[in-house]
Amino acid sequence: MIIVMEPNASEEAIARVEAKIRENGLDVHISRGTERTLIGAVGDERKLEPKVFEILPGVERSLHILKPYKLVAREWHHASTTINIGGNIIGGNEVQVIAGPCSVETNEQMRAAAVAVGEAGACLMRGGAFKPRTSPYSFQGKGVEGLSMLKNAAAPLGLPIVTELMDVRMLDTFLEHNVDVIQIGARNMQNFDLLKEVGRVDVPVILKRGLSATINEWLMAAEYIAAGGNHKIIFCERGIRTFETAYRNVLDITAIPVLKRETHLPIIVDPSHAGGKAWMVPALSYAAVAAGADGLLIEVHPSPLDAWCDADQALSPKEFSVLMKTLSGICATVGRSLPQPQKIEIAHSA
């Protein structure tokens, strides 16, 4: 059972609900979000009746949740959740696009990438400072220096930044660098210690689907974050591993309507990692938007042939601009829209 407290509920009211649950022999889990507190009754909740709690002071509503994932389930939150990131709403009518290079390489590369994605209409900028690579001999990222390079490139253009957190020990560093959105990569989807820690901060989290994760496992991973009090979670479908070898991963378009039914949280799609080839990105992007995705996460590099990481799947600035123009028409067809691109003015030092 979930008991939803009113936004201004007092600690006394919360304690009264907790005591009532424990009187019936159940354990209690309290999730304190930025807007309201959710109290979960853990155990055989058949012993509890919602009406017993709804008469208590400070209680907004209470209800039984049958799913194993409680806080992320649409059962208790029928309206779709929207997440505001620097004025960009993910989960609303606009389809937001997050774009930038796979990895942070140089200051010049990042500045050029920021201008390219900003002028084309991207709402946020992505860039990997810490890179999880299959081979230990591959480029692993610029680390903390890369965080600064990403922030310095994006800030003058007003682009919030998205970057991947791999190690819980680096969380404080991410917060010090004012990372706007923390990405949890596919390989860390079930790194439960990491999920618990990002659940304790008030920073939006993009949770990528694991390489072979089921929908249920993905939702339960998000539940770890929500249980810590952070309800600003964005699911990201990036393709799953199957027997097929013709492309990098299999983009599971079916996951989009399924998640829309199961959870109130937004979902975006990463067509770059799904196909693994730049020429596949437009078609996969169109399909994702048509299926109901709330946004896209796309790799764009000023010079893809020179990229230090995932060169095959990166779009050039020109290719990305063409994609964004076509996406605008796709969005209109399904009753949605893209944010209008803005002309970027770059100040040149004398």
pLDDT of 66:
79
The DSSP string of 230-276 is ---EEEEE--B--S--SSSSB--TTHHHHHHHHBSS-EEE-HHHHH-
Confidence of residue 12 (pLDDT cuts 50, 70, 90): very high
| 178 φ, ψ (degrees, to nearest 5) | 55, 45
Same fold flag, 2-63 and 83-333: no
May I ask the CATH class of domain 83-333?
alpha beta
* Contact status, residue 157 vs residue 344, Cβ threshold 8 Å: yes
Tell me the per-residue pLDDT of 173-216, one tens digit each, with 9 for 90 and over.
Answer: 999 999 999 999 999 999 999 999 999 999 999 999 999 999 99
Share of the chain above pLDDT 70, in %: 94
pLDDT of 218:
98
Own/partner contacts of 337-343, CB < 8 Å, gap of 24 or more, are 337/93, 337/94, 337/95, 338/94, 338/95, 338/97, 338/121, 339/88, 339/94, 339/96, 339/121, 339/123, 340/121, 341/118, 341/119, 341/120, 341/121, 342/118, 342/119, 342/121, 343/119
Residue 30 makes CB contacts below 8 A (sequence gap 6+) with 14, 18, 37, 38, 39, 40
Rounded to 10 degrees, what is the CA torsion of 184, 189, 194, 199?
A: 70
Tell me the per-residue pLDDT of 68-97, one tens digit each, with 9 for 90 and over.
Answer: 898 999 988 889 999 999 999 999 999 999
Distance CA 143, CA 269 (A): 25
pLDDT of 348:
43
**What does the block give as tokens for 240?**
């799953």
Tell me the per-residue pLDDT of 25-69, one tens digit each, with 9 for 90 and over.
Answer: 888 888 888 778 999 888 777 778 888 999 999 999 998 887 889
pLDDT of 346:
54
Compute the average pLDDT of residues 312-317.
Answer: 96
Average pLDDT, the chain: 92
Confidence of residue 350 (pLDDT cuts 50, 70, 90): very low
Q: Where are the domains of the chain?
A: 2-63, 83-333
pLDDT of 137:
55
Neighbouring CB atoms inside 10 A of 75's CB total 17
Tell me the per-residue pLDDT of 227-257, one tens digit each, with 9 for 90 and over.
Answer: 999 999 999 999 999 999 899 999 999 999 9
Tell me the per-residue pLDDT of 135-162, one tens digit each, with 9 for 90 and over.
Answer: 665 666 688 999 999 999 999 999 999 9
Distance CA 108, CA 129 (A): 15
Sign, Cα dihedral of 83, 89, 93, 95: negative
CATH 3.30.70.1140 fits 2-63, yes or no: yes
pLDDT above 60 (res 349): no
pLDDT above 60 (res 339): yes
pLDDT of 76:
85
Q: First CA to last CA across the chain, in angstroms?
A: 64
pLDDT of 187:
94
